[in-house]
Amino acid sequence: MTELKGARARRGLTHLVLLAIGFAYVYPFLWAVGSSLKTKIDFLDGGLGLLPSRPVWENYAQAWREASFGTYFVNTLVISVTTVAFTLLFTAMAGYALARHTFPGKKIILGVILATYLLPHGYTIVPIYDLINSLGLLNTLTSVILAQVGGGLVFGTFMFMAYFSTLPRELEEAARVDGAGFNTLFFRVMLPVSKPMMATLGLFTFISSWNNFFLPLVFTLGRPELRTVGVGLYAFTNQTTTDWTLLCAGAVISLAPIVVVFVVAQRYIVEAIAGAVKA
């Protein structure tokens, strides 16, 4: 009996410690939300306190319109969604061809995939910048999308290839008897069964694209109206008269989509990350 009580007390203590550290862990997020609702005076008086004396929602309207976070948000959304769409399409196509067909040159492609998958990408931004420049795409959203899609195809193709090669051959055989060609097989048979893979890869591509800072920073140096939320926020901090509460509202606007995605799809995200290290 006493032992049971001891175990319960210990478990209670574990929860207490986990909660306390967890609270400290997400404190910057809570502080950003709280501060985004403060008045300027409230912000300076409140210090590291969380709660505003009276929530000021106008900060959000102001950040969205006057501080251009509306534009930044739309830019980031356009980049992320387009990047996800093209990454999924191209990697599924390549993964399908590599997993389900044989053709001359396949071994070379597989070798290159393996080499670039294992090699560190190091720091190759200069040639990429030069390439984008010579394509005349500097200071466009297309350049960010192109560089992000181009850099992410090896990983996605690898994932799709692994996924498609686990599917039974009968799946295609039946459709082929019915006279289905290459395209029909891919779009009507293979793509529909690969929904779990598309969801996982899509989720990851979206998150990494939304969070990408470096590529949009480099490719939108000359055009402020093309900034993403991250780059916009960074530029905002470097202005001489920075409005702190607006900055916090901007940060919340920038973080919100990923936090929402994470809360909704937590289980899948964690499983996929865990799977990466086991493989």
Site residues for other proteins, 92-131, by CB under 8 A, read 93-94, 96-98, 100-104, 109, 112, 116, 118-131
Nearer to other proteins, 54 or 121 (CB): 121
Q: How many residues bind other proteins (CB under 8 A)?
A: 91
Per CB under 8 A, does 12 bind other proteins? Answer: no
Nearer to other proteins, 2 or 102 (CB): 102
Per CB under 8 A, does 140 bind other proteins? Answer: no
CA pair distance 51, 37, nearest whole angstrom: 8
Tell me the H-state helices in 166-241.
170-177, 182-184, 191-193, 195-211, 214-219, 229-237
CA pair distance 87, 157, nearest whole angstrom: 9
Task: Indicate which single residue of 39, 199, 211, 268 sits in contact with other proteins (rule: CB under 8 A).
Answer: 211
Does the CA dihedral 184-189-192-196 come out positive or negative? negative
Task: Indicate which single residue of 9, 51, 61, 259 sits in contact with other proteins (rule: CB under 8 A).
Answer: 259
Return the residue matching tokens 């529909």.
192
CA pair distance 144, 147, nearest whole angstrom: 5
Q: What is the smallest separation between the CB atom of 66 and other proteins, expressed in angstroms? A: 18
Q: Where in 160-179 is the site for other proteins (CB under 8 A)?
A: 169, 176
Q: What is the smallest separation between the CB atom of 154 and other proteins, expressed in angstroms? A: 6
Task: Indicate which single residue of 9, 13, 16, 18 sits in contact with other proteins (rule: CB under 8 A).
Answer: 18
Q: Where in 43-102 is the site for other proteins (CB under 8 A)?
A: 44, 47-48, 89-91, 93-94, 96-98, 100-102
Six-digit token pair at 243? Answer: 């409005």
Residue 29 sits at the vertex; the CA angle it makes with 199 and 13, to the nearest 5 degrees, is: 95
Q: Is 57 exposed, middle or buried (0-12, 13-18, 19+ CB in 10 A)?
A: exposed
